[in-house]
Structure 1
């Protein structure tokens, strides 16, 4: 069974462009090329592409995937352990962000203890948010819930000009 690049991509739920990119990066090579330049892939290439897609779904970089595909044993285990530890760190960071947001939400429920912009920034920084994290948070909030983002910014006592600037970030 030989597959074209489009058929191969469909088998793995990927785009043709993605398969071509993996080829450019040296992760995948066609089994052969026809006289007219068409790429043809066999079962071995299909299995390799499925492995690449699975590793990408785990969040591994292409460099790490290349190493995983080319080496066996201890190197693979080290890469997977390192990636696992990185994911654990990201999860801890996200949990602290959740806790900070929950603290703000709990504080904002009590109207006589209104959260200000300065207090909000302080809470976010205490939870480990960097300026870039806060910027990304605002972008996502604006993208997903623009009306609620507007109300939230107003609840912090921020003036209209600054709200407009924040919403355009």
Structure 2
């Protein structure tokens, strides 16, 4: 059995967080000591492990409670929704990152900002020996196998939405633009 402090230490949570989890019914202790202290069983620890994992994935406490109380269907739906939200957040952050680099206007920051623009990417492909036909083939395969990731990649290069769609349409053809 674990006390509040022991469980908190194990998961790097404050005492007040565990008391809050108890209050909202997310993690109720299985027992109480003679002095009325909360005691957590191995089963409680396993539940806490799931809570910690879902929190790391960014799920709300409400979603976690739904998942733990409802089962796999709720889990799948909640995780799919979280993935959709993450993809949206990442896309917005990429645009903000590119905007900040542009506002700063210093090429030296591009090397440290973990961004690459379309021109840099094309230059890398050319330097590695890919001609226009090979680059087109690369896009065709990327679009065919991972269409959403292809769109994300193009966005990460700073391509505007209309250019992303144009490249993707071109990638669905087996001819040059």
Aligned partners of 1:100, 1:40: CA distance in 2, in Å?
Answer: 51
- Structure 2: tracts of 5 or more residues without a match: 109-177
1:34 offset after TM fit, Å?
2.4
Aligned partners of 1:108, 1:7: CA distance in 2, in Å?
Answer: 50
Aligned partners of 1:33, 1:79: CA distance in 2, in Å?
Answer: 33
SS in 1 for 2:105: helix
For 1:92, the equivalent position in structure 2 comes to 91
Aligned partners of 1:34, 1:15: CA distance in 2, in Å?
Answer: 20
Normalization by structure 1: what TM-score?
Answer: 0.60
For 2:15, the equivalent position in structure 1 comes to 16
Are 1:41 and 2:31 matched, yes or no? Answer: no
Aligned partners of 2:100, 2:33: CA distance in 1, in Å?
Answer: 58
Aligned partners of 1:8, 1:107: CA distance in 2, in Å?
Answer: 49
Instruction: Tell me which moved more, 47-56 or 77-86.
Output: 47-56
Normalization by structure 2: what TM-score?
Answer: 0.57
- Structure 1: tracts of 5 or more residues without a match: 110-169
Show CA shifts across 1:124-158 (max 9, x none).
xxxxxxxxxxxxxxxxxxxxxxxxxxxxxxxxxxx
For 1:131, the equivalent position in structure 2 comes to none
Show CA shifts across 1:5-55 (max 9, x none).
111111122111111111111100111112321111110111111211121
1:107 offset after TM fit, Å?
7.3
CA RMSD of aligned residues (A): 1.8
Show CA shifts across 1:77-132 (max 9, x none).
011000110011011111000111111122799xxxxxxxxxxxxxxxxxxxxxxx
List aligned pairs for 1:136-151, cutoff 5 A. none
